[in-house]
Amino acid sequence: MAKKETKPAKASIEKKPKKAKDGDYGAGQITVLEGLDPVRKRPGMYIGSTGPQGLHHLIWEVMDNSFDEAMAGHGKEITLRLLPDNMVSVEDNGRGIPVDPHPQHKVSALELVLTKLHAGGKFGGGGYKVSGGLHGVGVSVVNALSTYLKAEVRRDGKLWEQEYAIGVPQGKVKSVGSAKGTGTKITFQPDASIFETVEFNFKTILDHLRQQAYLTKGIKLVMSDERDPQNTSIYAFYFEGGVASYVRHINHGKEAKHKNVFYVHKLDEPTDVEVEIAVQYSMEYHESVHCFANNITNPEGGMHLSGFRSALTRELNNYARAKNILKEKDQNLTGDDVREGLTAIISVKIKEPQFEGQTKAKLGNPEARTAVESVFGESFRIYLEEHPQDGEAIISKCLLAAQARSAARAARETVLRKGALEGLTLPGKLADCSSKDPSISELFLVEGDSAGGSAKQGRSRETQAILPLRGKILNVERARLDKMLANNEIKSLVIALGTNIGEGFKMESLRYDKIVIMTDADVDGAHIRTLLLTLFYRYFPDLVHQGHVYIAQPPLYRVNIGKKFRYAYTEEEKHVMIEELLADTGKGKKETTTAKKNEEEEDAEDENNGIEEGVEGESETEQMEVSGVKVNIQRYKGLGEMNPDQLWETTMNPKTRIMKQVTVEDAERADEVFDVLMGAEVAPRKRFIQTHAKTVKNLDV
């Protein structure tokens, strides 16, 4: 689809006050942002970030309007198209946005919705009973952050349209012909000057659409990727089973503890909240619970999650006591016991949702807790009575978890007691930092004693602590807490962090603001990194969600010409560094040889080329002859090959290092990947490797 030419925007982004004298502070120093200007000035306040997550949030905001129509009973199909030039089109067959003049503002309602924040049919109660787009800023924010937007409305037998550039109308709403049916189509192109990238990720959008199809049963969702005209992909989703189908999808490939999926879909009349919940237990050790309010995902849960957990624990304890499985009065299953291996989807539809911020991470409505606790508690009680085999299977799973929890508590107390007997001493191999301020302290988890030695010598002793890890830690995806704490490496890590683990976890006791995983750039290093990420994701999720976990990025190459050298972190960067260093010597035909050098040869070359001495181990060196100029490229396969000062300069110095922060944008997808890669089932892992083998870059075996 070709992009139409647009007129330049008529309005400036910000009205600048008159220049004032130094020290003056009056009305002239107050800046007023009008219309959609605040969105362009502070986009993060409205879409979370200007990275890939914020870019895709534009699509979610437009689609929320279409889903609101579907939830209101208008329209049964939504189509999303990815078009050339990073353009996106979202079309539904709902009622169509009104185009008649607004009685108060005297402009078309369509223009009002697209140009005014907090304008829409979601506030007065007459437009929608429930909606995801609570704030009414969604589509107007998309308009403000797009270089081009076109709205097309089929309504009253006519096709209406209006175009925008950076939120500014390029003409009035006009009828361009006749049309059958009703509906709205929004086509937009994100502003490349606002976002870090404007390239949409097909997989991210596809997963989101699949999720929404599960949450809105009976609605057909179609997605097509038309960015490459020669290779168009089309997917369609339609599920009658609702969130019960969603649970089966999540548990696909897992061993279910009971055959039937518990499902309830009911309106709680006292609170007027619609509740839809599905539950199934598997033989896994971890819970997988996903919460939604008006089809909007709530990664931090909220009141509906609290109500669900309370009812689940209460009903399972009552059932176990009624069946004489729990005999002692003080014997009860805890929340952790009943959630082990649990897969659940909690979806509520509520009139006036109270979210935390525009990104809607947490639901705050107290009535949601009451509704979920009432509807789920009553229905789950009946389910357990009507399905005694399922009930017994669930209780047996919970009792096994309780026994493991007792063993884990004993193991955890042993670890902590050992520390107490030693005067609260930290692990012997931990080289701690001198600072006691967690906000400036960093813990580096280093692979092996050799790299640990270099890191200890090269670090900043005031703020950086080093914990060498010997070998590969236990795969915690397949082990309970009591077995974990028998592993010396994990035990040392738990004591070093200071937060405790499991039931005793306390975020406020964290001793380091940054936990940095620093491993070699080879297969073993990647495996150790994956094992550590599994540990943090499963047993220290708050550290991941609050941004405390990082991955160090040591360089792959060191490029030398004489005494000049540069570090390269990728294959592409290596070539750039070579060209930069050769800029003063001219370019010629490259003659390349690769050789494994012993320590004597390397020491001799060090003297001639200015490479620091003391590099440990065997390293691969590539020699290039360009117009008589000798270029040496050292390939670092391990951190132990680097001198302490090199390791500091490239990987540990806060001023020059590159680190990746570990985040979880899609908890369900992350959970699925960890289960496939680290779980007990071999077949799914084999399929994953076969599927992705050809896309692997820089595989080092």
Q: How far is CA 45 from CA 40, 41, 504, in A?
A: 10, 9, 35
- Concerning whether 520 is annotated as a catalytic residue, the answer is yes
Task: Return d(Cα 221, Cα 236) in angstroms, integer.
Answer: 6
Token output for 83:
């078009």
Name the residue with tokens 């570990």.
662
Active site residue 675: no
CA neighbor of 442 nearest in space, from 427, 461, 419, 463: 463
Cβ–Cβ contacts within 10 Å for residue 333, how many? 24
Catalytic residue among 77, 207, 226, 522: 522
DSSP assignments along 219-235, one per residue: -EEEEEE-SSTTS-EEE
DSSP state letters, 104-119: TT-SBHHHHHHHSTT-
Q: What is the DSSP string of 565-611?
A: EEEESSHHHHHHHHHHHTTTT-----EEEEEE--HHHHHHHHHHHTP
What DSSP line would sit under 21-60, residue for residue? -TT--SGGG--B--TTHHHHHSTHHHHS-SSHHHHHHHHH
- Residue 328 among the catalytic residues: no
Place of tokens 């896309």: 695
| Residue 522, marked binder | yes
Sign of CA dihedral 312, 314, 317, 320: negative
d(CA 219, CA 210): 11
Q: Is 330 annotated as a binding residue?
A: no
Which residue is associated with the tokens 């279910």? 256
| Catalytic site residue from 284, 447, 668, 671 | 447
- CA 372 to CA 22: how far, in whole Å? 59
Structure tokens at 535: 């540990």
100 is catalytic: no
Considering the candidates 392, 524, 606, 645, report the single residue annotated as catalytic: 524
Is 85 one of the annotated binding-site residues?
no
Neighbours of 680 (CB within 10 A): 13
Per the annotation, binding residues are 447, 520, 522
Residues labelled catalytic: 447, 520, 522, 524
Residue ranges for the known binding site for Mg(2+) are 447, 520, 522
